[in-house]
A and B are shown apart, each in its own frame.
Chain A
Amino acid sequence: MIIAERKPFAEIKAAVAPYEKILIVGCGTCVAVCLVGGEKEVGLLASQLKLARGLEGKHLEIGEITVERQCDLEFIRPLCDFIADYDAIISMACGAGVQYLGQLCYMRPIFPAVNTAFIGVNEEAGLYSERCLACNNCYLAVTGGICPVTMCPKGLLNGPCGGTINGRCEVDPERECAWTQIYQRLENQGRQEQMREILPLHPHDRRTTSGKVIHPAYKRRYGGHE
Chain B
Amino acid sequence: MSRLKKALEADKFPVVAELQPPKGIALDNMFSPVGFLKKRVTAFSVPDNEHARLRLSSLAACRLLKEADAEPLLHLTCRDRNRLALESDLLGAAVLGINNVLVVSGDYVTLGDHPQAKPVYDADSVQLLQIAQGLMAGHDSAGLPLNGNPDFFLGAVVIPEADPWVPQLIKFEKKVAAGAQFFITPAVFDLEKFRAFRQSLPPHPIKILASIEILGTEEVAQAKEGKWRQVYSLPPEILQELTAAEAEKVLFKGAEIAGRLLKQLKEENLADGVYLKAQGRADLFTMVLEGGGL
Contacts and interface: CB of A to CB of B under 8 A. Distances in A.
Interface of A: 153-167, 170-171, 173, 179-180, 182-184, 187, 192, 195-196, 198-202, 204
Nearest to A181: B167
B162 A160 contact: yes
B195 interface: no
Contacts of A201: 83, 122-123, 127, 131, 141
B224 interface: no
Nearest to A148: B124
A198 B111 contact: no
A144 B188 CA distance: 33
Nearest to B167: A183
A121 B173 CA distance: 35
A187 to B, nearest CB: 8
B78 to A, nearest CB: 8
Nearest to A187: B166
A163 B174 contact: no
Interface in B82-110: 83, 104-105, 107-108, 110
B111 A156 contact: no
A220 B157 CA distance: 52
B166 A158 contact: no
Contacts, number: 93
Contacts of A171: 108, 110-111
7 contacts: A154-B105, A155-B121, A159-B171, A162-B231, A182-B167, A201-B122, A201-B127
Nearest to B141: A201
B171 A198 contact: no
Contact of A156 (B107, B124, B130, B170): B124
A209 B153 CA distance: 37
Given A163-B107, A183-B167, A157 B127 contact: yes
B126 interface: yes
Nearest to B130: A198
Contact of B186 (A162, A184, A202, A204): A162
Contacts of A156: 105, 121, 124
B221 interface: no
Contacts of A163: 107-108, 231
Contact of B126 (A153, A159, A183): A159
A167 B164 contact: yes
Contacts of A161: 105, 124-125
- 8 nearest interchain CB pairs? A159-B171, A183-B167, A158-B126, A156-B124, A161-B105, A171-B108, A154-B121, A162-B159
B87 to A, nearest CB: 11
Nearest to A171: B108
Nearest to A169: B108
Contacts of B83: 201
Contacts of A164: 162, 231
Nearest to A179: B167
A157 B178 CA distance: 14
B167 A180 contact: yes
B122 A158 contact: no
B111 A170 contact: yes
Contacts of A180: 164, 167
B144 to A, nearest CB: 14
B192 interface: no
A170 B107 contact: yes
Contacts of A162: 104-105, 157, 159, 162, 186, 231
B163 interface: yes
Contacts of B125: 158, 161
A219 to B, nearest CB: 29
Nearest to B126: A158
Given A157-B127, A166-B163, 8 more contacts: A158-B124, A158-B171, A159-B171, A159-B174, A164-B162, A196-B174, A198-B127, A198-B178
Contacts of A183: 164, 166-167, 170
Contacts of A153: 108, 119
Interface in B120-163: 121-127, 130-131, 141, 157, 159, 162-163
Given A158-B124, A162-B231, A165-B229, A196 B107 contact: no
B163 A167 contact: yes
Nearest to A177: B167
Given A160-B162, A201-B122, A196 B170 contact: yes
B57 interface: no
B105 A198 contact: no
Nearest to A153: B108
Nearest to A168: B229
Contact of A200 (B78, B108, B127, B166): B127
B2 interface: no
